[in-house]
Chain A
């Protein structure tokens, strides 16, 4: 067993983990972050995507011991004081989810994408989400949601977006 200290969604945990434990298993089974889900065993689907020190990672391809000393943000840590992150809101506003299973990973990857490219065109969104599979939506409304969120996250786009974008270190990707 190895001891790790990791901050997940703003709370610091100090835990013993097996060396082989994947980050996604640690999140789900040891600290109860079941909002992050598992969709495959070959890192193709992206359902388990979280942010590790501000960058999106597939948490099935990171070992828990590798996140020692790091900050992890999951889907459960995005909303602030009851306010949804603009990308969460945009997914709701644009009917970008049906069964919702891919949604946590899709939202986390979308935030990362917008951190790298704040104003992506349709093609750039599609390529940015290539590693995340959705079986329900045909992606059209996901693309629409990401572009909608991009618009709302531009400077001066409203107090809610401002509020979140002023704390980019834990909610936006792109290595801020």
Chain B
């Protein structure tokens, strides 16, 4: 049987996961109904900063179907404080983080009252009957103002709005020179301020939590990326004995980092259900999701790059302000720090300084969103490289080539101390240029400029790399991260030769079931269909670190390989006994042991049956092939690629359309090319969305005005182009499959490619920067302001607004635009 199996690695398998999803046989958390189940709804603060002076819940309590109404005072003694797993500096300021507000609120959307009723509708009806009085306090929204002397404070007890300052300096560390020396001694210095607007992950399935307190163990279902982490955090935060809590992530409808969280609603659903002794469900509305699920990005980046006149980069200085929002979530403070290692990107930069100031404001807290720190860094470096190219009058691709690490130089230790194991930037770029018709589009661009075509063509480049596969535990420890980065896998060999694989990496759309089946099929010589992948339930998968940071395959997938290797080693001993041969004389290939030089052999499946019977095993051999492995890689994974974008910009209306998008990604060896392509597509969509469409906008009172999907512009099918994707394949040298992460690559790379293209289309008109999202109004204002047809103050007078940035913040100010 085994001889006829085709290799699975690299095979375009259709997904096992699909059968249920395309027929509606799904198990989203909100689908669950338990006997006697009650429904929880949250009243959220409409004010961004205030003290609660009175709450009247009497009418709500009398409302039909209402079981109980709870305020922060009712839960204050048992709710604990939501944890932050990443204290980036020893002196980091971290406020108490209640799940439900007790004395006051710090952002609009914070939970103030919880209502439990027989039905969701009755619970929501009762919310309307609650009266809450607030004493308004000054609202802190702007990061620079928040850091100014005498600023109003988000958390007066902390005495400052500065949470932490995190610094890396290559001169101090010894990984490079002193950046101030480099800047002083260089022939060209370019300084720019870029703004990373605030984004919302906007996963399609709203969050939902069900808690059943009626069994021996508490069972918590949650629409989460991280059931294992939720279980530990629940134990640490609430003192629930860990062995008395089972957490299940059933079908989860996307996450993108937005469900990498231990959130207030999980705590409150747990507490309320425990108190009432009845199952309780909470499901958020989309409006609740947008205002209260954590946000992403939101940085101001001051970047200085220095170079010699031949284009050799000599130094890079990055000073960030990162908006934490009102509280610190699970990994909030560490998100910008992940970018610290990526600003130097694929380039050989001899001197590097990075400093990030984390700032509190009265807004929804930020945390991981697809890429988490690396998209911000990649945007910063790829934008400034284009600015440097303009300053030097160099072709931007040539400038990159002059400074990037050549393929002969790997492994290469960067100025930020990471060691890139492998890569080939030349190959990816050459392939992308050819697919894109780079020279042809440049020629067309020249023609259109010469003819003063109202629709101008721009070409944007992003030659990116990123660090992913989080992982290495010792590195995470050195960054003060509160956990390891290993991943666990178990393999159960069933008597009939079928296989159960248990993974600690919890999927929510990535296709682990399919990819892990392919891996195990190759390792153990069983058919793809004969492998069942189990996950997402702490009672089945007792150990795991879950799915985020493009880590599943490069950490969790390798754990599966290691577990399979252990199965084979156990089987070898039994096979040798069965074949009356020495173990040393056995050869193994894809499920089959053969005695060297003979045609005698047996399979892992046959051995599994023999072990099940256990009638005739060698002395001292345990009757089981089942094996566990916990894998902790030695290094991150460094995918890279070259993304090229051509935009057409209508200079009369400001409308941007993507004419051509080509990306060539190198993610090493590929397990399933169809899944990989899907990951790239989705990643590109989110990266392009940041460049062109999405922005979480607050008004001056701290109200989120992009609080529905009518205002927060998640792109539809008509808003996105057809992508041309291809790959080069430079195997990773740090794992046995040679694979690299892919989940975030598209998002990390795409944003600067698009913005560089928009600017390239209108730079000859005098435009130097346009803030994201580059909406028609911002583009139009930038062009007209550069032409002197719109006064600069008028251009800056319109604040960003709902509906896709119909307004603009300093669309074309002299310093390249800055948030105010």
| A residues at B contact (CB < 8 Å) | 18, 20, 25, 28, 33-42, 44-45, 47, 74-76, 78-79, 84, 88, 91-93, 95, 97-104, 107, 122, 125-127, 129-143
Contact A98 B254 (CB under 8 A): yes
Smallest CB-CB separation from A140: which chain B residue?
A: B681
B18 near A101 (CB under 8 angstroms)? no
Once the chains bind, are A139 and B285 in contact (CB under 8 Å)? no
**Which residues of the partner chain B approach A127 to less than 8 Å between Cβ atoms?**
717-718
Residue of A nearest to B254 (CB): A99
Cβ of B478 < 8 Å from any Cβ of A? no
Q: A133-B709, A140-B681, A140-B723 are in contact. Are A97 and B22 (CB under 8 A)?
A: yes
Contacts of B69 in A (CB 8 A): none
B664-691 Cβ-contact flags toward A at 8 Å (1 or 0): 0000000000110110011111100000
Q: Would A34 and B15 be within 8 Å (CB), given that A98-B509, A137-B682, A138-B720 are in contact?
A: no
Q: A133-B716, A136-B254, A140-B723 are in contact. Are A99 and B710 (CB under 8 A)?
A: no
Interfacial chain A residues near B25, Cβ < 8 Å: 35, 76
B451 near A: Cβ within 8 Å? Answer: no
A129 contacts across to B, CB distance below 8 A: 716-717
Q: Ordered nearest first, which 8 A-B pairs have the shortest CB separation?
A: A35-B24, A99-B509, A101-B253, A100-B21, A138-B685, A138-B681, A40-B286, A44-B709
Number of A-B contacts (CB under 8 A): 171
A-contact bits for B70-89, CB 8 A (1 contact / 0 none): 00000000000000000000
List B contacts of A104 (CB < 8 A): 24
The contact sample of 23 A-B pairs, CB cut-off 8 A, is A28-B31, A33-B24, A37-B26, A39-B206, A42-B286, A42-B708, A42-B710, A45-B286, A74-B24, A92-B18, A97-B21, A97-B22, A98-B678, A98-B682, A99-B253, A100-B253, A125-B717, A130-B717, A135-B254, A136-B678, A138-B746, A139-B681, A139-B717
In the complex, the chain B residue whose C-beta lies closest to that of A99 is B509
State in angstroms the CA–CA spacing of A28 and B685 once bound together. 30
B379 CB contacts on chain A under 8 angstroms: none
B722 within 8 A of A: yes
Contact yes or no, B202 A98, CB < 8 A: no
From B26, B509, B720, A136 is in contact (CB under 8 Å) with B509
Nearest chain B CB to A41 CB, angstrom units = 5
Select from chain A the residue with minimum beta-carbon distance to B258: A135
20 more A-B residue pairs beyond the given contacts A107-B22, A133-B204, A136-B509, with a C-beta to C-beta distance below 8 A: A37-B28, A37-B30, A41-B285, A78-B23, A88-B22, A95-B675, A101-B28, A101-B203, A101-B205, A102-B204, A131-B716, A132-B717, A133-B714, A135-B202, A135-B203, A135-B685, A138-B746, A139-B681, A140-B723, A143-B717
Q: Do the beta carbons of A84 and B254 come within 8 Å of each other?
A: no
Return chain A residues, CB-CB under 8 Å to B714: 133, 135
Q: In the complex the two chains form, what is the Cα distance from A147 to B684 in whole Å?
A: 22
Interface flags, B182-211, vs A, CB<8A=1, else 0:
000000000000000000001111100000
Tell yes or no: B14 within 8 A of A by CB: yes
Interface centre among A92, A100, A104, A125 (most CB of B within 10 A): A100
Residues of the A chain whose Cβ atoms lie less than 8 Å from the Cβ of B675? 95
**In the complex the two chains form, is B202's CB within 8 Å of A100's CB?**
no
Proximity string of chain B (225-267) to chain A, C-beta cutoff 8 Å, 1 when within and 0 when not: 0000000000000000000000000011110100000000000
Report yes or no: A44 in contact with B253, Cβ–Cβ below 8 A: no
Contact residues in B for A47 (Cβ distance below 8 Å):
204
Complex contacts, B717 vs chain A, CB 8 Å: 125-127, 129-130, 132, 134, 139, 142-143
The answer, yes or no, to whether B3 is at the interface (CB within 8 Å) is: no
Partner of A38, one of B17, B206, B722: B206
Q: Which of A34, A92, A125, A126 contacts B31 (CB 8 A)?
A: A34
A77: nearest residue on chain B (CB-CB)?
A: B24
Whether B28 and A130, one on each chain, are in contact in the complex, defined by CB atoms closer than 8 angstroms, is no
CA gap between A126 and B22 in the complex, in Å: 20
The CA-CA distance from A168 to B301 in the complex, in Å, is 57
Contacts of B253 in A (CB 8 A): 37, 99-101
Q: Which residues of B contact A78 (CB under 8 A)?
A: 23
Complex: A33 Cα to B26 Cα, angstroms = 10
Asked if residues A45 and B21 are in contact (CB atoms below 8 Å), the reply is no
Output the nearest chain B residue to A101 by Cβ-Cβ distance.
B253
Asked whether, in the complex, the Cβ of A100 is within 8 Å of the Cβ of B684, the reply is no
Q: How far is the CA of A79 from the CA of B23 in the complex (A)?
A: 7
Chain A residue contacts of B286, Cβ below 8 A:
39-42, 45
Specify which chain B residues have a CB less than 8 angstroms from the CB of A40 in the assembled complex: 286, 708-709
